[in-house]
Structure 1
Amino acid sequence: MTDPRDYKLAETIITHSTRLEKGERILINLIGFNGIGLVRALVTLAREIGAHPYLDIVDPETQRILLETGDAGFWKDQAESDGVPLMKQMDAFVGIRASENIYESSKVPEKANRAFQQHYLQPVHFDERVKNTKWCVLRYPSPAFAMNARMPTSAFTDFYYNACLLDYARLRDAMLPLEERLRKASEVRLKGEGTDIRLHVDGQDWVNCHGTRNIPDGELFSSPLRDSVNGRIRYAPSVYLGKPFDFVELTVKDGVVTDFDASDREALQSILDTDEGSRRFGEFSFGTNPVIGQPMYDILFDEKIYGSNHLTLGQDYDEAPNGNKSQVHWDLVCIGADVYLDGELIRKGRHFVPDDLQILNPDNFFKGR
């Protein structure tokens, strides 16, 4: 049975996120079977407007077997014979992550993960899908997802739809004053528990994200000047390639991680050693979704937490580049640090201070709706 809210979510994806048009092809990729109701809603709405949906439904346990046994030759063949040719024919892409167990691939060896990233993920998704389709990626609620969020399943499901079905036009407008300030700024400083870090953003572009690439959404991102990051930063819990981290701490000098600590030091060491760019940063962002308040080991939600920032290890984005290239792109989130722009305090903890930015504080965002 399809939740009625799936049709509202599908409508947002079709009309707002991908702006799907008659005659266009859309690839709907479902990982896990839990989100089949949303797939049905997407297919129904796509056909109603005369678009052509293609389905790719993946069993997470089978995918784990492929990840564990795949090598460079296997993934190159998969990319060249199926992945890239199919993606080249698509106008739009929707990725629904509906696995019941986010740790399904946590034991995949690092060498195998790198083969998948380099020879399949990079050419199929980063080079083709991201650059040449109208794409949107999202999660889907489940009891396991609710458990990570430490919420009852029914309460989490309501929270999920509230976060995903936000008024994105209102959020876009609410972020505009912050965007204007950031475009004029030179130095950003984050200062909080375990964190005192500075970075420069002179002349960098800023991207206002309001439901066109991720759902839920609510972030304003750019990238730091590559050699400008200095200090230390402590991040909230995170998961990367199925491996959980209760915390991550980094010490940075002239844009390069020089020291680190984590709940899983060995795994962090391996990620940092992936390539030259994995010890540098490719993105800096403000999280602004007023519904999302706490981390839940899921980056598509956690990077949107209001009163947060993420300073991302690895690959930059073409929309706001800084020249850092890497197979890694890990959105690590710092929650509740004070934020200074060129010495002016603009956010105290999780609440914006200047009058023109207070609309981003949750109580004010929802006031008068």
Structure 2
Amino acid sequence: MDERVREHAAVLVDWSARVETGDDVVVSVAEDAHELGVAVAEALGERGANVTTLYGSDEVSRAYLKGVEARVAGEGDDGDGNDDAAVDADDFDSDPAVDRAIFEAADAYLRIGGGRNTTATADIDRPTRQAYAKARKGVREARMDTDWVSTVHPTRSLAQQAGMAYEEYQEFVYEAVLRDWESLADEMARMKEILDAGEEVRIVTERDDAPDTDVTMSIAGRTAVNSAASVAYDSHNLPSGEVFTAPYDTEGEVFFDVPMTIDATRVRNVRLSFEGGEVVDFSAEAGEDALADILDTDDGARRLGELGIGMNRGIDRFTDSILFDEKMGDTVHLAVGRAYDACLPDGESGNDSAVHVDMITDVSADSRMEVDGEVIQRDGTFRWEEGFEG
């Protein structure tokens, strides 16, 4: 086994999930993430934790959802040869007890991604995916109540999606994961302090080759998360390396120039217009139907749940994986949908939705980010970094 796999497992178990002796840990392992799954199980055994493993297969999920679609189509067939019924949330058992029980009993949940096909569910109808997500909202909330951490094992399918050779992709992943997380946490604490003290964020980009961005949002009363890849920092992704908060009262327009995959659909060059905190107009050069379906999921899907600022400079290129891309230095991302409780005052409910979809814009040039009118970042450089020009 590549020693870096064991190092990855140690970071996940020790730094990220902070697993302790006697903890009940659920580990979901994707089809091609077997090697990291083995290393994680070994690390958990050494720490005296209890392990329950799940098979996290997108191909298995696809087969199940295809079966549901076939059943619903059969029930709706009136003999005219057409499918007369679409799948909705009532076609699934709401929050199956066995699934909820697994997560309600768990102290930690570790999701190890790395499937065989990054678009395994591409032919599942979007309404079916949305209905399934709505029906399992309680399961999702139970899972998120654990000390959960999501990571990926570098696989050939992910390397292909990123446009890299396999060995090159391995180097990329481990450069992003095997960081000096304590030092990065100290640096990101500067950004957290600024956001915690701030009331309004403005992001502006002015480029000759792309639509402008000029968007403002309130962050008053919110608490930013120093997402240093550890539950001790209210951070749940490995790698991480971002500072995020839960904005509201969004106004203006934003252009997302980083391509992404949403619901197994390639989406590119998204533009959102906000009025009164809500998306009132949108467009996309590619994948506009997928974007429309996301925004129509529920009322909360048209409002922002997150403003995130990428600060992991170990991530040096876009790979069409949100786990990495949103953490990249010189980027800012906004997510429509659910807000994270960690950013909200006690007793306050933030934006609620069945979805949380991040979209990214490159701020490495011709851009600035202001907090309460003061420029905090210009052309990707923060005010405490060498070369900053206020």
Q: Normalising by structure 2, what TM-score? A: 0.85
2:143 to 106, 116, 129: 129
Asked whether the equivalents of residues 282 and 317 of structure 1 are also in contact (C-alpha less than 8 Å), the reply is yes
- Residue 366 of structure 1 corresponds to none
Residue aligning to 2:370: 340
TM-score (norm 1): 0.90
Kindly, what percent of the aligned residue pairs are identical?
Answer: 28
Task: Choose from 230, 245, 251 the match for 2:267.
Answer: 245
Q: Where in structure 2 are there 5+ consecutive unaligned residues?
A: 69-86, 231-235
Where do residues 101-140 of structure 1 align in structure 2 (5 Å cutoff)? Answer: 101-120=117-136, 122-125=137-140, 127-131=141-145, 133-140=146-153
SS at match of 1:331: strand
Bigger radius of gyration: 2
The answer to whether the Cα contact below 8 Å between 1:31 and 1:57 also exists between their aligned partners in 2 is yes
For residue 277 of structure 1, report the CA deviation from its aligned partner. 0.9
The residue number in structure 1 matching 2:203 is 190
Q: Kindly state the Cα deviation for residue 35 of structure 1 after the two structures are TM-superposed.
A: 0.9
Secondary structure in 2 aligned to 1:245? strand
State the secondary structure of the residue aligned to 1:214.
Answer: coil
Counterparts in 2 of 1:342 and 1:108: CA distance versus 1, 3 Å:
same
Q: Is the 8 A contact 1:164 1:215 kept in 2?
A: yes
Once residues 342 and 58 of structure 1 are traced to their aligned partners in structure 2, the CA distance between those partners, rounded to angstroms, is: 44
State the Cα distance separating 1:53 from its structure 2 match: 1.0
2:301 pairs, out of 278, 281, 288, with 278
Contiguous gaps of at least 5 residues in structure 1? 362-369
Structure 2 distance, partners of 1:343, 1:91, is 43
CA 1:267 to 1:360, structure 2 compared with 1: closer, same or farther past 3 Å? farther
Query: Which of the numbers 66, 87, 90 marks the counterpart of 2:103?
Result: 87
CA distance in 1, matches of 2:312, 2:114: 21
The answer to whether the aligner puts 1:76 opposite 2:93 as a matched pair is yes
The answer to whether the 8 A contact 2:126-2:263 is kept is no
Corresponding residue for 2:217?
199
What is the rounded CA distance, in whole Å, between the counterparts of 2:223 and 2:57 in structure 1? 39
Q: 1: distance between equivalents of 2:359 and 2:302?
A: 13
2: CA distance, partners of 1:158 / 1:343: 40
State the Cα distance separating 1:360 from its structure 2 match: 12
Displacement of 1:359 after TM fit? 7.6
RMSD after superposition? 1.9
Aligned residue for 1:319, secondary structure, equals helix
Moved over 6 A (4+): none
Aligned to 1:60: 58
The secondary structure found in structure 1 opposite 2:9 is: helix
On the 8 A contact 2:200/2:371 being kept in 1, the answer is yes
Q: Is the 8 A contact 1:68 1:112 kept in 2?
A: no
Question: 1:84-111: CA deviations, max 9, x gaps?
Answer: 1111121111001111221111221122
Residues 210-219 or 240-249, more deviating: 240-249
Most deviating of 66-75 and 103-112: 66-75
Q: Say if 2:295 and 2:301, in contact at 8 Å, map to a contact too.
A: yes
